[in-house]
Structure 1
Amino acid sequence: MLNIIFYVFAAITALHLAWYLGILGKFAFIKPQAITAKKIPVSVIVSVKNNIDEVNRLIPALVAQEYPDFEIVLVDNASQDETIDVLEAFEKQYHNVKLVKVENNEAFWANKKYALTLGIKAASKDYLLFIDVHCMPASNQWIASMVSQFTLSKTIVLGYSALQKKKNSLLNKLIRFDGMLAATSYFAWAKAGSPYTGNGRNLAYKKDEWFKHNGYIKHIKIRLGEDALFINEAAHKKNTAICYTPESITTRESNKTYKEFIRDKRKRLYTTRYFKSFDRLQLKAFFILQLLFFGFAIALAILQYNWMFLVPVVVLRYIITWTTLAQSARRLNEKDTVYWYPFIEIMLIFTQLYAFTANLFKKPVHWR
């Protein structure tokens, strides 16, 4: 019986490693990305709601972008403080800043998708680039880098949004590792021909794609996932590219507490229930393989199975997964997150289980 359990364990480990090398490895071991200069007119869209400090920090950085033809569309989602005054001042100061004022209505009260819809329709350029108001572009080449990946056929570009690093903070490494792993997954699946999501903190697509799918209409009543659900619906092998150059990254402040991290984790997890069937299946399968690996490894250790067979399988698994993630982390400038990988992986498994259980009893609060 113990031998049978071990053989099952070995098979699960083999599947897990095949996933890392065959799927995640498509991004982890990818070559550095080249930038081909382009002059495609682009509208940078920023949704704002009561964000005076963030606006004062972000807009000057966007205006300073070295790109020949772009506008900045600021969508004020019914701010209730002095944010609107600051936005109006920026609109008067810069010729390429456009302000869209959204007023709450009964049907779409405080709905970010509704606000973004108005912003997209107001955009005068054919290509749209999205950044969160809490983020900052890594360089003045951010627009140029993201736009460089557009071609006649590639009309969706997935970017990476990092979290600011904090010294001597294990929580910061945990949260950043989670973001790095998520990006590795959606970048890798895009390279494999099955893109399934994107991050609205750094995302671009041609406006035609948005109109082709009637915008957010299929999930307008879901108060989450304006980025993830749209990409899950619109992206496919032929129209999706990825951008991971150092200049293309955006950054934002990390969650300050574990509670905040759990809150955001629940929102992302809740959104995935509306993904396509295959995408839901592959996300669940990856997590289940992790659980099964640890479950069988612990069971075999407790039952005192021959360590000469058990230990090599465990060591091999860690060598391959650790190496793969280290390569991905290096590509995304997150190398320090993988130093604690074995411990962080276990912490994330418990976090995922807790978030899943919490969502069974209560729906997470929507994004602003």
Structure 2
Amino acid sequence: MAACGLDFGTSNTTLGRIVSGVPTLARLEGTHVTIPSAIFFEPGREPVIGRAGMAAYVDGRPGRLMRSLKSVLGTGLIEETTPLGRERLRFRDVIARYLAAVKARAEAEAGEALDTVVHGRPVHFVDGDAEADRRAEDTLAEIAAAVGFRAVSFQYEPIAAALDYERSVTREEIALIADIGGGTSDFSIVRLSPERHARAERADDILANDGVRIGGTDFDRQLSLGTVMPLLGLGSPMKRRELDVPSGYFHDLATWSSINRLYNAKTLREIDETVRDCARPDLVSRLRAVVEAERGHALAAAVEAAKIEASDGGTAGIALDFAQTGLAAGVDRASLAAQTETLARRIAERVEGCLRQAGLGRAAIDAVFLTGGSTRVPHVRAAIVACLPGARVVEGDTFGSVGIGLTLEAARRAA
């Protein structure tokens, strides 16, 4: 059996296998070993995944873009359908089509079928609901089987990242692994060493696992709600002064996995009624323009790009010409931190939870290993590092460490 490690992320996906004894990530899109977890459905054509799918949408080709696919696992949305041309497809079938395309690309590079997979998973798909968490894993296992994997198992994503980090460890240490991704923030405390790396059974080395369903897409949403959506009418009054414009439209428009809910005639009629009855029709008419043109994903992508630019220290403009010519919002590092400070604090609280679970004090942690795209957000990184001021900070491969670790685990389990 040919084994692989699959990191199906909220924002990006990788798939790795052992090549000449070395864990190697497949080139899934051109020369890229990461591919955005996005799929574009165009009437009469095969779906297009990744950057190409997002580009097709941005270019204005007719069709439906779906992104942040993983976030529906463990929710009632997974069995719901979405209209795609003349057919309706369940969200689980959308995920299956995406993963089948990823698998096919990896198999083409490998020159053989991949029938065994170790899937990454967050510590908690769903916070505080063990049954929903179990359903989410079961659903992902069913989808993996449906796309052709005969043997499917799972590993926590921060544990996978620990296996990647351990390859560079020269002495025994206790490390906190922080994997802050697009949909969840996950932590593990693990005992690592060169000698332990060679062991088949590592259960005793895993001292704690914890996580929270907060990730980069939540930062996008909060930034959008605080910076962009007020320009489209969020928080503005109705003519009856005791009421504000209904906020549900704005929350859906700011949430990757909910944007497509707005694209229907009923919602447009409701927004028309709101325009008629609100005190600032000039603002809410912008909302209607975005929804009617189905530019919600373009708006979300612009907010995400601004978050990344602001994280790197720049000042970003979010062009809103599809709402009104010349309209724009500005974001810098300070405004990003102000809009999302509560999220960063909630993520950092899981570090304390991990320490309590492991029965360790802060001084016991030798290193903090950081991976996942949201570790690039300065105040998130700072909040995590501040919890363990005496620990050495180690930078992982932002988008590849989990996939490499899953590949190592897949090889071990298949041996």
The answer, yes or no, to whether TM exceeds 0.5 is: no
Q: TM-score, normalised by structure 1?
A: 0.26
More strand by share: 2
Question: Greater helix share, 1 or 2?
Answer: 1
Higher relative contact order (CA 8 A, sep 6+): 1
